[in-house]
Chain A
């Protein structure tokens, strides 16, 4: 028996929420889960009887988040032996019989004028002990986000690792309707694919979205002028600025970890070179000087170094350079093609596109021992993007089913596929952690 079991039947169809852009909504399906996922139960939150149903099923959002991580196997709501909402109501023996290790219960209390109080408690079933109890106040439109915050708390308490459910993803969708011109859109959605908003719609290609460290802006490349140029767009207001519009390529924007600089690739000098734009002075500083292709810069988490793709050695490989300039050190040697590296949040690994014998897969390079581990199994994978907690890598994959997003855990044990109903999805970028007020 394989150490993996496939849970493709566990299809979580996330229905269209209150977004205005149904076609951009992502459906996330777990294609591979892990054996030994923690059995947990999330009981529907208590809600005053005799009133209209609650505005949102918070328990199912939490349950889906935990299941999607691959680290938990939540009990189906139909199999719950009881629906306690208070600690005193829990009959621990019933849950022990089902092998449930942890239990989440709580209440959703309407406060009037569209505001709610959300209480939740996390229990250890075997020790019959409460591990945590929290209370939130939220407006109706904040309930979904609150549910993801609950997921983050449960995840962190039980795995010891910060949760990344209350985050967002940006991605590009290409629609190619029969007998008409392609359309491209840049969307931002919650990490579970819900709440998708198109923030840019264009007749020309869009690529390389990059989040500002505060999560408020996206830099990206748009061909709307029929030339690749870099723009920065504020997510709340939609206001945007053209940042780089030199002759040739203006591509591959990457925000420095402190948000003060934007690295990019510009070919204004004749061939693509890495430049750093100081956001305050609007001055560009050239970092590389080579007749080869230098592109796809990415910052180390401490902002001290950049890695980039260069074919100065004949084939595209990853090089590292100090952000202040200096010599470029080649750091990939395995395989004929290594490109578009991204640092892990801890800075000890790179996720990259690894091409070998004609197939392109997502791989992890350990920067300490330089070992390379291939994580994916398809042939046309690209654009790896780490979850801000470093647990998963989101990437774009093309196969017989078309172009979709996929995610793989850094240990390769959990796999997901994210698809939109229409069109090709590509160029995913996972947002930084959101600044949240913890209760």
Chain B
């Protein structure tokens, strides 16, 4: 039981370490200390994960922009109309934010995963998912990110996130997910 709690606490701490490494404030050493401090707290018997986040707050670690809920970069999914790869203005803002991030972080890499809803045929939807992923890829490329940083992959209708057979599910499934493999 205790071991489980430790893991639970170390995971958010590690996320902070990673964030700190790439951010402007933290250094590796400070990050490592953060983990130790987190570990100390666990051994002290506290099981409150919020406490670990509190320490980060005190130290004023920057939240990684990809994890900052107030940053557009925290949005990693853009949505499409039926049988369409047209990028909406809302999607465009999100994609442009990621494009700038990739252009400014040349070591960052992302997979653009295209998906379709269940209507129509599977192979056509595979092609449609690719068309959506490529549409996002082209737009990202226009902002100066290198093609080498991105890969477009289609899963067609094979990996839905919503399982209903109506528009409320379908609209969530017609999407491109921007998945960072290297931040």
Contact = CB atoms under 8 A, between A and B. Distances in A.
B127 A295 contact: yes
B121 A353 contact: yes
A172 B129 CA distance: 21
A309 interface: yes
A339 B121 contact: yes
Contacts of B158: 205, 207, 223
Contact of B123 (A205, A223, A251, A311): A251
A380 B165 contact: yes
A382 B156 CA distance: 14
Contacts, number: 87
Nearest to B119: A360
Contact of B124 (A270, A340, A398): A340
Contact of A380 (B118, B123, B127, B153): B118
B120 interface: yes
Interface in A291-330: 293, 295-296, 309, 311, 315-316
B120 A208 contact: no
B122 A360 contact: no
A163 interface: no
A399 to B, nearest CB: 8
Contact of A337 (B120, B131, B159, B165): B120
A63 interface: no
Contacts of B124: 293, 295-296, 309, 311, 316, 339-340
Interface string B144-174: 0000000011111011000001000000000
A228 interface: yes
B83 interface: yes
Interface string A257-276: 00000000101001110000
A227 interface: yes
B130 interface: yes
Given A205-B158, A380-B165, A267 B120 contact: no
A390 interface: no
Contacts of B128: 293
Interface in B32-67: none
B120 A316 contact: yes
Contact of A252 (B120, B123, B153): B123
A249 B120 CA distance: 18
A296 B128 CA distance: 13
A293 B127 contact: yes
B154 A228 contact: yes
A270 B138 CA distance: 12
- Main SS of the interface on chain A? strand
Interface size class of A (residues with CB under 8 A): 35 or more
A401 to B, nearest CB: 11
B123 A295 contact: yes
B5 interface: no
A383 interface: yes
A311 B152 CA distance: 20
B51 to A, nearest CB: 28
Given A249-B154, A398-B118, A398-B165, A265 B130 contact: no
A364 B156 CA distance: 25
Contacts of A44: none
A437 interface: no
A3 interface: no
Contacts of B159: 205
B153 to A, nearest CB: 6
A227 B126 CA distance: 11
B115 to A, nearest CB: 12
A355 B120 contact: yes
B130 to A, nearest CB: 6
Given A309-B121, A340-B121, A382-B121, A226 B126 contact: no
Nearest to A264: B123
A152 interface: no
Contacts of A355: 119-120
Contacts of B165: 379-380, 398-399
Nearest to A252: B123
A383 B130 contact: no
A399 B165 CA distance: 8
Contact of A205 (B127, B152, B155): B155
A190 interface: no
Interface in A360-412: 360, 379-380, 382-383, 398-399
A267 B126 CA distance: 11
A427 interface: yes
B126 A295 contact: yes
Contact of A296 (B118, B121, B131, B152): B121
The 10 closest A-B pairs by CB, nearest first: A205-B158, A293-B127, A340-B121, A339-B121, A252-B123, A272-B127, A295-B123, A296-B123, A339-B124, A295-B127
9 contacts: A228-B156, A271-B127, A309-B124, A311-B124, A340-B123, A353-B120, A355-B120, A360-B120, A383-B121
Given A316-B124, A340-B124, A399-B165, 12 more contacts: A207-B123, A223-B155, A228-B156, A249-B130, A272-B130, A293-B131, A295-B127, A316-B83, A340-B123, A382-B121, A383-B121, A398-B165
Interface of B: 83, 118-124, 126-128, 130-131, 134, 152-156, 158-159, 165
